[in-house]
Amino acid sequence: MSKKHTKKKKRKTRSEMSTFFFRLVQITMLCIFISVCFLIYQTGYVQTVIQLYQEAQEIIETSSAADFQTDQQGEVYDTDGNTIALLRNDRNIIYLSSEEIPDNVKAAFVSIEDKRFYRHSGFDLFGIFRSVGSLISSGSVSQGGSTITQQLARNIYLTHTVSWERKVEEIFIAIALEKIYTKDEILEFYINNIYFGNGYYGIEAASQGYFSKSVSELSLSETAFLCAIVNNPTYYDPLTNKDNTLSRRDRILESMLDDGVIEETEYAAAVVETITLNTSSPQYTRTWAHTYIYYCATQALMEATGEDYDTCSELLYTGGYRIYTSIDMGAQTLLQNTVDETLKDYNTMDTNGTYALQAAAVTIDNDTGLVTAIVGGRSQDDISVDYNRAYLSFRQPGSSIKPLIVYTPALERGYTASSTVIDSKEEDGPSNSNGSYSGAITLRTAVEQSKNTVAYKLLRELTPEVGLSYLLDMNFSSIEEEDYTLAAALGGLTTGVSTLEMTAAYATLANEGVYRLPTCVTMITDMDGNIIALPDQDEHQVYESDAAHEMTDILEGVLTRGTAKGNAIENMPCAGKTGTTNDNLDGWFIGYTAWYTTGVWVGFDSPRSDSSLSGASYPLAIWNSYMTELHEDLESKELND
């Protein structure tokens, strides 16, 4: 055999051997791969991944933009459009649309958090490799492995528990999110929901919290400073670790420069700029008006959404609503100060630490029927204003009920101010408060002198069913079956009435007999100005106009000749009625001008007798002092014009 042939045979043998070993290696690797897959399957990992994928799909199927717009901070405005309260919950987001977010904010986050944001589809394998490479080369990570979309998925739909399952589901959700939302929408959602430490979620809340100004007013350096916090809100906390925050700010600015989104001159100026924090955000005093506003707003949301009270109450603090009200903070402060000053000498305390003698007062604008001011108690440090007596406390109204269920209904049925009535004691009837009886008198005199005997007889003639029907027609909420007796003529009601209800009823007399459901909320909008609720005042005729006019004319005499004599407002026509319950447990005065109706109640939370308490004492004094100052700059206007 030739040498040439021998060499060919050897080469063939080597080639065959190489092929054999290569195939052997392939088969071995395939066996190993199959074995690993089998082991993984046996341990349940594949099933877990499939389950996580299915869970992610279920989440996305119900996803909507509303998922990313919850927990927003709302605002409350007074009648002049001034902010008087912020509606917050634990997250306290002030939501900005994509157009409202400055370009520098978007650029900073993309540059430092996710450079390939506009190129990947929710998950970025290159980003993970880059993060690992950075860790190996420099010992620190300048950019995380999670994309902005992954971070959004984690913040909204998942927990922050570290596990491979959570990471896999996060990736599945992120990929799905990219299919239904644009990049601009995802970035908007992310910037509004990311945590900036110290209770601030979203860039606008953080800007107002740390700098006391809107993000639109921030410099480039301040913007990068805020964006630095989100990587680790504890380590980069600007209140406790400001140097750390500044260091990361510089890295963000450098990254933005490298990416070409800022110029060299901008970078040079921003990196040396001194950052001065200003955490003195506006403080809003919580008053009795606030609790009533929240009550009215919740009722309005119930009407608009059909949801129950608890759900709407929660929505109030998470929906980012703008609540517009009729509350006049000047009148509110004046009413509170007048109550406090009038009762300042009565300092006895209850066992719970509150003043024993309390008060409630409400003012309604007669032009609109809306509440202008509402006070639910005396001012006191460390005492909650949640229990607002003006609309939550129900007490017997005494003689202040007479015009509502006796005299105005009687005027509708043929009686006049000059009609003759008999003031005499009946065996089973009530006594007059002063124990004297005048015989034949006019109906006007009976009202001015608050004759119990006359009111009792007239209600007997009308029947309690007729008299109380007027209260029901004005939404009095606590009329009981046991109230249908002649004692109702003198305010003898089982549960009683609230100050708000009584004030709205007298405002009905001032409004020619037309009742308007009291509220202080005029409109609720979302953050974009879209109307959510326009409260219905349920306006309807309760008393005949002529009867309301004549009742007003009679009630003017109460302040000039009757039980409130000497307490008329100077140069301002006014009408009103006192009310005192048995044993001096409660005192009332409700009165009105052409401008405003104000009702005042004074008494004890746990009813007790006090000889100094009557409708003509504390309540009338509060009413006169407050209404006099409230009308100081208003032109004189006749009632019944």
399 is catalytic: yes
Of the candidates 197, 199, 181, the one whose C-alpha atom is nearest the C-alpha of residue 189 is 181
Of the candidates 476, 475, 414, 407, the one whose C-alpha atom is nearest the C-alpha of residue 444 is 407
List the catalytic residue out of 113, 188, 448, 501: 113
539 is catalytic: no
For helices 264-271 and 242-258, angle between their N-to-C axes, nearest 10 degrees:
180
Strand residues in 458-565 grouped as ranges (E): 514-515, 521-525, 531-533, 540-541
Instruction: State the number of CA atoms in the 13 A half-sphere of 378 facing the CB.
Output: 24
Round to whole Å and give the CA distance between 153 and 171: 8
List the catalytic residue out of 146, 207, 221, 399: 399
Round to whole Å and give the CA distance between 96 and 134: 33
Round to whole Å and give the CA distance between 622 and 604: 16
Pairing of strands 371-375, 357-365: antiparallel
Of the candidates 523, 450, 142, the one whose C-alpha atom is nearest the C-alpha of residue 301 is 523
111 contacts 200 by C-beta, under 8 angstroms:
no
- Write out the DSSP string of 284-352: ----HHHHHHHHHHHHHHHHHH---HHHHHHHHTTB--EEEE---HHHHHHHHHHHHHHTTT---B-TT
Round to whole Å and give the CA distance between 336 and 25: 90
Which positions are annotated as active-site residues? 113, 399
